[in-house]
C-alpha cells in the first residue's frame, strides 16, 4: 500500500489551501490532498501519513464538514502517533470546545473577542527560544493561554509589529498617534500592545502523537523565515535561501477557456473596486479592503479562477459540464449585484456612515449583502453557491495533479 508523508485537508480553506499547495510545489515535495469525506471514510487510518496539515479558514465550517465521525477519526489518528499541524482556523479547530465543533486535541480555548486584538494582519516579529522571526499573520484569533498547562510548549510569542502590519483596514505605522480615537470609532481593540508576549505557536502531546498550532501562516509566499520554520516542523531539509514561490493572481493564462474568461471578468471587477477606493492590491496574491467590504470573498473567487485557468485536464472539463448551467446562471447576477453593492457602499462612505464586517450601515445594503454573501460569520448566498462549485473543481484538479491514484 502506498504511504504518504504529508496529507492536507482541503475543505473550507479556499485561498489558504492553495498557499499550502504552493509551498510544497516550490519544494517539489509530494503530498496527498484529502477531503473531509476521505477522513470520514477512514483514510487516515488506512494510509497513516506522518503529518496532517489543516490550513486556515472557518474552524466551525471545517468541523461541520468533518462531522462527528471525521472529528473522531482525526483524534484517533493523532492518538496513535500522527502529527497534526494547524494554521489559523486549522489551529482553532484543534482547541477545546463542543465535541461536534472541535477536535479537543489541545485544552486551551480561544481568547474572548473583547479581550483580544481582532482583525490584525501582515508581518509581525515573533520570539522563539533562540531568535526573533518576521512571521505573517492573516486575521487570526488568539489562544487563551494558561500557565497551568505546563505540558504545552510555547514555540513562539508575538513581539512587535513589522512594517506591513494592519489592524482592520488601518496600516498601523500611519496611525499610532491617535489610536484611541480610532478605537472609539471602530468599537474594537486596536492597540498592538495587547499582543506583546502572547503565544502564537504552541505544541503539545495527544496520546502517542502531537499537535503544532500556529496562528502565523508559515506557508505564506515569499516569507523566508516563516517558510523555513514550517519546513523545520516537517523535519524537511531545505536550502538556506528557500522561500515559497510568489503567487500572482493578476497573471492571466495563455490558455483560453471558460476559467480564463471568468478570471479576466473577476480581475475587471476588482479593478472597478480599486477605482472606487474600496479595494487595493496588498500583495500579488492578496487584496486589502475598506472595513465592511467583503474583500476576502472576492479574493477567494479570484484565487480559485487563477488556479483553474491553467487547466488542460479532460476530467475537469467533464465535471465543469455538470456545473456549467448553474454557474452561468449565477455568475452574471453575482457580478451585477456586487457592482451595485460597491457603488452603494461608496455612496454610504461619502455620507460618513461607516459599515463593519458584521453589519452594513443601512438596511437595504445589509439585505443585499446577505443575498450576495450570506450571514457573517461564515458565508452563503450567491457567493456560497459559486465558491462551492469552484471548490469542487479545484479539489479535483489538485487530486489529479498530486495524487491521482487516490481518486
Cell readout for 373 is: 454573501
SS3 108: coil
What's the pLDDT at 363? 82
Taking the C-alpha atoms of residue 106 and residue 212, their distance in angstroms, rounded to an integer, is 10
- Domains of the chain are 6-233 (3.40.50.880), 258-406 (no CATH)
Provide CB contacts within 8 A for 9, sequence distance 6+.
Answer: 34, 35, 36, 39, 52, 53, 54, 55, 62, 90
What is the radius of gyration, based on Cα positions, of the chain?
A: 21
What's the pLDDT at 64? 97
Peptide bond into 377 cis (omega under 30): yes
Give the residues of the chain that fall short of pLDDT 70: 1-2, 176-177, 352-361, 406-407
Return the exposure string of 21-49: e unless at least 16 CB atoms fall within 10 Å of the residue's CB, then b: bbbbebbeeebbbbbbebbbeebbeebeb
Q: 326, 293, 296, 323: which is closest to 308 by C-alpha? A: 323
Query: Can you state the angle between helices 15-27 and 381-402, rounded to 10 degrees?
Result: 20
Q: What is the pLDDT of residues 47-95, one digit of tens each?
A: 999 999 999 999 999 999 999 999 999 999 999 999 999 999 999 999 9
- Region of 362 (left: φ > 0; alpha: ψ -120 to 50; beta: rest) is beta
Q: 9, 12, 25: which is closest to 227 by C-alpha? A: 25
Are 272 and 339 in contact by the 8 Å Cβ rule? The answer is: yes
Taking the C-alpha atoms of residue 117 and residue 168, their distance in angstroms, rounded to an integer, is 10
- Tell me which DSSP letter residue 88 carries: T
What's the pLDDT at 356? 62
Provide CB contacts within 8 A for 169, sequence distance 6+.
Answer: 288, 289, 290, 291
Taking the C-alpha atoms of residue 178 and residue 397, their distance in angstroms, rounded to an integer, is 48
What's the pLDDT at 178? 82
Are 64 and 186 in contact by the 8 Å Cβ rule? The answer is: no
Are 19 and 53 in contact by the 8 Å Cβ rule? The answer is: no
Query: In sequence order, what are the beta bridge partners of 156?
Result: 201
Taking the C-alpha atoms of residue 214 and residue 155, their distance in angstroms, rounded to an integer, is 9
What's the pLDDT at 254? 86
Amino acid at each position: 500500500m502506498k504511504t504518504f508523508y504529508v496529507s492536507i485537508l482541503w475543505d473550507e480553506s479556499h485561498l489558504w489551501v492553495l498557499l499550502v499547495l504552493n509551498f510544497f510545489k516550490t519544494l517539489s515535495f509530494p503530498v496527498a490532498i484529502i477531503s473531509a469525506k476521505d477522513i470520514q471514510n477512514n483514510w487516515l487510518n488506512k494510509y497513516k501519513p506522518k503529518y496532517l496539515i489543516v490550513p486556515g479558514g472557518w474552524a466551525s465550517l471545517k468541523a461541520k464538514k468533518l462531522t462527528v465521525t471525521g472529528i473522531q477519526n482525526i483524534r484517533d489518528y493523532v492518538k496513535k502517533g500522527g502529527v497534526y499541524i494547524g494554521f489559523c482556523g486549522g489551529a482553532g479547530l484543534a482547541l477545546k470546545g463542543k465535541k461536534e465543533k472541535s477536535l479537543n486535541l489541545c485544552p486551551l480555548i480561544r481568547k474572548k473577542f473583547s479581550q483580544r486584538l481582532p482583525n490584525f494582519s501582515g508581518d509581525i516579529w515573533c520570539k522563539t527560544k533562540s531568535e526573533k522571526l518576521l512571521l505573517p499573520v492573516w486575521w487570526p484569533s488568539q489562544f487563551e493561554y494558561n500557565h497551568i498547562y505546563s505540558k504545552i510548549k510555547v514555540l513562539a510569542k508575538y513581539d512587535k509589529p513589522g512594517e506591513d502590519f494592519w489592524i482592520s483596514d488601518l496600516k498601523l505605522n500611519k496611525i499610532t498617534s491617535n489610536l484611541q480615537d480610532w478605537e472609539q470609532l471602530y468599537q474594537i481593540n486596536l492597540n498592538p500592545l495587547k499582543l506583546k508576549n502572547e503565544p502564537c505557536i504552541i505544541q503539545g502531546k495527544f496520546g502517542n502523537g502531537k499537535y503544532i498550532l500556529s496562528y502565523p501562516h508559515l506557508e505564506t509566499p515569499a516569507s523566508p523565515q516563516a517558510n523555513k520554520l514550517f519546513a523545520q516542523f516537517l523535519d524537511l531539509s531545505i536550502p538556506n535561501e528557500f522561500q515559497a514561490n510568489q503567487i500572482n493572481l493578476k497573471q492571466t493564462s495563455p490558455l483560453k477557456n471558460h476559467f480564463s474568461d471568468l478570471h479576466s471578468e473577476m480581475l475587471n471587477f476588482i479593478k472597478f473596486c480599486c477605482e472606487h477606493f474600496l479595494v487595493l492590491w496588498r500583495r500579488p496574491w492578496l487584496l486589502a479592503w475598506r472595513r465592511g467590504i467583503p474583500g476576502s470573498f472576492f479574493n477567494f473567487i479570484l484565487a480559485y479562477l487563477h488556479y483553474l485557468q491553467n487547466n488542460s485536464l479532460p476530467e475537469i472539463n467533464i465535471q465543469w459540464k455538470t456545473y456549467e448551467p448553474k454557474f452561468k446562471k449565477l455568475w452574471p447576477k453575482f457580478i451585477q449585484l456586487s457592482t451595485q453593492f460597491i457603488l452603494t457602499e461608496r455612496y454610504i462612505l461619502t455620507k460618513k456612515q461607516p459599515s463593519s464586517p458584521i453589519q452594513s450601515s443601512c438596511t437595504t445594503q445589509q439585505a443585499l449583502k446577505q443575498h450576495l454573501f450570506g450571514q457573517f460569520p461564515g458565508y452563503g448566498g450567491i457567493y456560497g453557491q459559486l465558491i462551492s462549485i469552484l471548490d469542487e473543481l479545484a479539489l479535483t484538479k489538485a487530486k489529479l495533479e498530486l495524487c491521482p491514484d487516490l481518486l
